[in-house]
Amino acid sequence: MNGIHPIILEILRNRGITDENELMEFLAVKPSLTYDPFLLKNLEAGVDFLLSAINQGKRICIYGDYDADGVTSVSLLMQVLSQLTTNLTYYIPSRFDEGYGLNQDAIDQIKNDGGELIVTVDCGSVSYDEVEYGKGMGIDFIVTDHHNINDRPADCILINPKQVDCSYPFKQLAGCGVAFKLAQGIQRKAKLPKSVLTEVLDLVAIATIGDIVPLVDENRTLTKYGLDVIRAGKRPGLRKLIHDVGLTSDKIKSENIAYIIVPHLNAAGRMMDARIGVELLISKDESAIALHTAEMIKNNKERKRIQEEAFQKCKELITEKLTEDLFYVIDPDGIHEGIAGIVAGKIKEEYGRPTIIVTESGGDGFLKGTGRSISSLNLYDLLKKNESLFLKFGGHSGACGFLMQSGHLPTLREALNHEVQMILQENENLFDEELSVDVDIDGRQIDMRLALELEKLAPFGCENERPLFRVKGIQPSKVSFMGSEKQHVRFSGTGAVGRGLPCILFQSAQSYCDQLLAGTLLDLVGYPDINEWNGESKIQFVLKGITY
């Protein structure tokens, strides 16, 4: 392990990576950790059935979800299967008119279009009734998914690593990751060139980062290779989107995907039609790509506008009605349901409370809910205890969605607050979410070499967060507030550093205004970053928190 920066070794050991082989695999430029796709329960049966349907000339429909994971999953299978058949189409339900997952009206449309086999991606595991409905009219199903499964799974070829009797070693693939494993099986049995798989790894990377699944194990491998494909700029639509939002393909990082590319893909499904995303990703026509890119950017700008309006409205409701609540169940009038999940996440971050936002669904006394939770509370488990209140329900520990009759809302709000109250009595630190510091560091160790070495730990995201460092006893000087509300700040930090350490803090500068201006000695928590401007590269310390 000679040549590895000692601070990098310390970070990895603190994170439980101590075995030398595991450590070298984690840092490898070309990692090898991946698993045989045929270890997935039912995958071989699914591949055989799919190839048989293609050989018989059957019409196949890829059925996906309207988020980035679903859009990339549909695009992936459309691209791979188009190597074998032209009798192929796809369907993504409307977030507003149909909601998540399979539904009978969609199955009717697919049947009327001549569909004979539906292959789901990123959905379908618990769609027992819908699959039975389709089977009754002669449609076959293959379900590929990664969501939690209840005690009534779809009765068909079901490929999901979370099946209790599935021996696949890694359970945390994104929906697109599962679709990719199906594609691997197809490539092997149909003897397609391996380039067919390499060319779609960019889609897997986007989905894996965007769906916030753990960036460890096989997901890390898939994402690292996928980011390489993105940087090569081989997908015309993605290359155009990256350019038009002001990024550069060959410098793309996981953070750019998470905070810029994924929100644009999601905006199509939130504001208009998720098919815009699929068409952008699979098209090779320059004029069509330009049109879809412009639509996507416009959608995202509108999404930001109405999201901020909804966020302010929800904050007002909390102040007026929910100040004593431990679990916010908010029912604002007239907000766009496409942005409810984002706003729930922003409320959760702002107040440190689990949050559900409900919106009217169909105007017939039904409510659609979407929730986000803090790390110390499993939202899925909390809602599962109240499953009898829901017509539909699904999700995971950090995010859930449901459909319910509006009359049940007071019962749900009371039940969730009672549950959290009981948990709080057992764990008084339930809401104390502190920054997790990886290493205490002397400011003199923060240099260009360390910043460059830290990139070897990328891609960063869920369960592989960017490492945070604590530098103690820093005195701020040359303080300069920025932004329309002076919410950002730059300053130079001196002390044990022995030199001025350029520091920058985004969004929460006003919380520390007095201490910064008074020159109070501060403990800084953040990470070293390389700021590139006008062809010049300089080190800066990006702050995530300050104590004094």
Determine if the pTM surpasses 0.75.
yes
Beta strands in 251-363 (DSSP E): 328-330, 355-360
Positions of CATH 3.90.1640.30 in the chain = 34-194
Predicted local distance difference test score (pLDDT) of residue 494: 87
Q: Kindly write down the DSSP assignment for every residue of 337-362, as one continuous string.
A: GGGHHHHHHHHHHHH-S-EEEEEE-T
> What's the pLDDT at 412?
97
In the chain, CATH 2.40.50.460 covers 439-547
Contact between 276 and 97 (Cβ < 8 Å): no
What was the pLDDT predicted at 1? 64
Long-range Cβ contact pairs of 159-167 (< 8 A, separation 24 or more): 159/40, 159/41, 159/42, 159/43, 159/46, 160/41, 160/125, 161/40, 162/125, 163/41, 165/41, 166/40, 166/41, 167/39, 167/41
pLDDT of residue 148: 86
Element at 538 (helix H, strand E) = strand 536-547
Both tokens assigned to 121 = 């991606």
Q: Determine the topology of domain 439-547 in CATH.
A: OB fold (Dihydrolipoamide Acetyltransferase, E2P) (2.40.50)
**Pairwise CA distance, residues 197 & 177, whole Å:** 12
Backbone angles phi, psi at 153, to 5 degrees: -70, 165
Q: Is residue 367 within a helix (H) or strand (E), and if so which, with residue range?
A: strand 366-372
Looking at residue 276, what is its pLDDT? 96
Question: What's the CATH code, domain 34-194?
Answer: 3.90.1640.30
* DSSP code string of 374-424: -TTS-HHHHHHTTGGGEEEEEE-SSEEEEEEEGGGHHHHHHHHHHHHHHHH
Contacts of 178 (CB under 8 A, 6+ apart): 40, 73, 121, 122, 144, 145, 146, 159, 160, 161
Pairing of strands 469-482, 439-440: parallel
pLDDT score, position 150 = 81
Cis peptide before 459 (omega within 30 of 0): yes
pLDDT at 56: 98
Distance CA 461, CA 229 (A): 19
* Residues 397, 415: Cα–Cα separation, whole Å: 18
Cα 179 to Cα 159: distance, rounded to the nearest angstrom:
9
CATH code: domain 322-426 is 3.10.310.30
For 512, other C-beta atoms within 10 Å of its C-beta total: 21
Q: Provide the mean pLDDT of the chain.
A: 94
For strand 88-91 and strand 60-63, is the pairing parallel, antiparallel, or unpaired?
parallel
Percent of the chain scored above 70 by pLDDT?
99
In the chain, CATH 3.10.310.30 sits at 322-426
Kindly give the parts of the chain with pLDDT less than 50.
none
